[in-house]
Structure 1
Amino acid sequence: MVNVLRLTDVSYVRDRRPILDGINWSVEDSERWVILGPNGAGKTSLMKLATANDYPTRGTVDVLGERLGKVDIFELRTRIGFVSSASSRRIPEQELVRDVVLTAAYSVEGRWNEQYDSIDVRQADRILAEWDLAEYADHRFGTLSDGERKRALIARAVMTDPEMLLLDEPSASLDLGARERLLQMLSGFAASPASPAMIMVTHHVEEVPPGFTHALLLRDGKVQAAGPIAETLTAESLEATFGMPFDLSVSDGRYAAVARR
């Protein structure tokens, strides 16, 4: 196994407010992590560090074998796939779905005068088919449903064969059908040994795709629990993380949590 992310004694302070405190966490290339925690727990700040979009106040962050502060972050970011709600807002509404994926090769949003090799076009079409979007390749991005947009953004993120894929609440705002379709596809993608290390932020255990291997639970900027998902995602750890008791059930790799009365 190869280490793709390591945080050592990391603290992150902004406006004199501690957001992350003493974080020790590492991710291997074969692992698929889910990050859970209440609002304000530090999940977004953790993702900023993992995507090389910010620096820790104290401690060290190693991303894909490179230490933040001692590496060209612009080159490093080309090796990372990242999808968030902000990703969708940067894509022009009139962009063809094929071009949404294809332009990842140049790390631009909105096709202009770039020239693409036929191998890039074939790669984009193959990835669109894998994410069940082949029939929408010549449609405008703005005409897609929320679920289709999320899948298009993930297809864009994997276009460049990233070494690490980070997903910030990928199923947020989706209806039940779109959410389940996306989770099925994420589960299948996670199962492939050819897929990169994956890290996904969510607020809900019901949105954890089957096949994810590890869980990190955050509260008030501190790690409540971290490790293999079956050992870490428990009723006790959820209570410690969210501050209330839960009944937790698991069926065919899917989790469900209900507050205990």
Structure 2
Amino acid sequence: MTTAHDIINLQNLAFRRGDKTILQDINWTIQSAQHWGLLGLNGSGKSTLLNILNGTHFPSSGQVTVLGQAFGKTSIPDLQKRIGLVSSWLNQQLPTHLSVENTIISGKFASIGIYQHINDTDRAQAAQLLADFNMSRLSGRNLASLSQGERQTVLILRALMTDPELLILDEPTGGLDLFARERLLDNLALLAERKPEVSQLMVTHQTEEIPAFYQKVLLLKEGNIFAQGDRDEILTPERLHAFYDKPVILRPFKDGRIQVVPE
């Protein structure tokens, strides 16, 4: 049996820009094979925290350790290759003329596009990822021909090219219609089944987007951790009422997800 270990460890983290404090007193640990939902409203500091985890920003104070690497003592570019990232920014930056296969392979190099030599092993791995997630029908097409939901799934496959221990999903269902969202969430469940060793971290502002198999939830409010822990203890009417400062009603979905609506 594999011993659990820390994937992310944040101690007394703070981030300031000028006179404004965006994050403060962030203490948070994600262990291997845990799946977390990070829930917060706009302006809560979600994007800043995500940028710190991915090595794009450095904290103003505190300690950050990701995949066993302490910031300030490790190569951030090397670390970034070990993290799978799916974000709207990345979706917007990728050239639409890229083939699906080359888009997936670009994840190996953490590059926007392909500038390195591609070998047969790379091509075979991309084809296998498409097959594993029942997406072989996209083979040979380019990004411009895909629906938004298909593009998001291809970005997830791209993130898996390096066999990451951590997959960060930054509002992955943004811009998707209802049915595309459900297909994407089904693929995340399939990923958890086939690669249980990969920790998933989803950043969102909608509770119903947090898959039922995510064991943990962190609530971020105004740059502070409002609450964190087991989903059944966090996603309660009382806790979410206090979080939103408004009374709410929880509507459970058949698959175990929860929708929150105003009372």
TM-score range normalised by the length of the shorter chain: over 0.9
User: What residue number does 1:104 align with?
Assistant: 107
Given candidates 97, 106, 112, the residue that maps to 1:94 is 97
The worse-fitting range, judged by mean Cα deviation, of 233-242 and 172-181 is: 233-242
Whole-Å Cα distance in 1 between the matches of residues 137 and 23 of structure 2? 43
Note the C-alpha offset of 1:235: 1.6
Q: Distance in 1 between matches of 2:194 and 2:18?
A: 42
Partner of 1:140: 142
Q: Where does residue 57 of structure 1 map in the other structure?
A: 60
**Structure 1 residue aligned with 2:232:** 230
Q: Is the alpha carbon distance of 1:243 and 1:191 closer, same or farther for their aligned partners in structure 2, counting shifts above 3 Å?
A: farther
The one of 103, 118, 134 equivalent to 1:116 is: 118
CA distance in structure 1 between the aligned counterparts of 2:194 and 2:29, rounded to whole angstroms: 21
Whether the aligned pair in 1 keeps the contact of 2:81 and 2:109 (CA below 8 Å) is no
SS of alignment partner, residue 180 of structure 2: helix
Runs of 4+ deviating beyond 6 Å: none
Distance 1:190 1:13 in 2: 35
Structure 1 residue 242, shift from structure 2 partner = 1.9
Tell me if structure 2 keeps the 8 A contact 1:4–1:164. yes
The match for 2:33 is 30
Are 1:9 and 2:15 matched, yes or no? no
| C-alpha deviation, 1:193, in angstroms | 5.0
CA distance in 1, matches of 2:48, 2:77: 19
Match of 2:248 among 236, 239, 246: 246
Structure 2 distance, partners of 1:192, 1:126, is: 13
2:178 maps to which residue? 176
The aligned amino acid for 2:240 is: L
Aligned length: 259
- 1:153 maps to a residue whose letter is L
Moved more, 243-252 or 138-147: 243-252
Q: CA deviation at 1:42?
A: 0.8
Paired with 1:64 and 1:110, the residues of 2 have a C-alpha distance of 26
Aligned to 1:202: 204
In the other structure, the counterpart of 2:260 is: 257
2:97 is paired with a residue of what secondary structure? coil
Deviation of residue 246 (structure 1)?
A: 0.8
Matches of 2:50 and 2:239, distance apart in 1? 21
Question: For residues 46-85 of structure 1, what are the structure 2 equivalents within 5 Å?
Answer: 46-85=49-88
Structure 2 unmatched runs, 5+: none
Please list every run of 5 or more consecutive structure 1 residues that lacks an aligned counterpart in the other structure: none
d(CA) in 2 for partners of 1:192, 1:253: 20
- Is the CA contact (8 Å cut-off) linking 2:105 and 2:158 kept in structure 1? yes
1:79-108 superposed Cα distances (whole Å, 9 cap, x missing partner): 111111011112111111111001222222
- How many angstroms apart in 2 are the aligned matches of 1:210 and 1:193? 17
Alignment partner of 1:212 out of 211, 214, 220:
214
User: Secondary structure of 1:102's partner?
Assistant: helix
C-alpha contact 1:187 1:212 (8 A) present in aligned 2: no
For the 8 Å contact 1:215–1:228, the answer to whether it is kept is yes
AA aligned opposite 1:222: N
CA deviation digits over 1:15-51, x for unaligned, max 9? 2211111011000111000010111111111101111
Give the deviation of 1:185 after TM superposition.
Answer: 1.1
Question: Is it true that 1:42 corresponds to 2:36 in the alignment?
Answer: no
Which stretch of the first structure deviates more once superposed, 157-166 or 192-201? 192-201
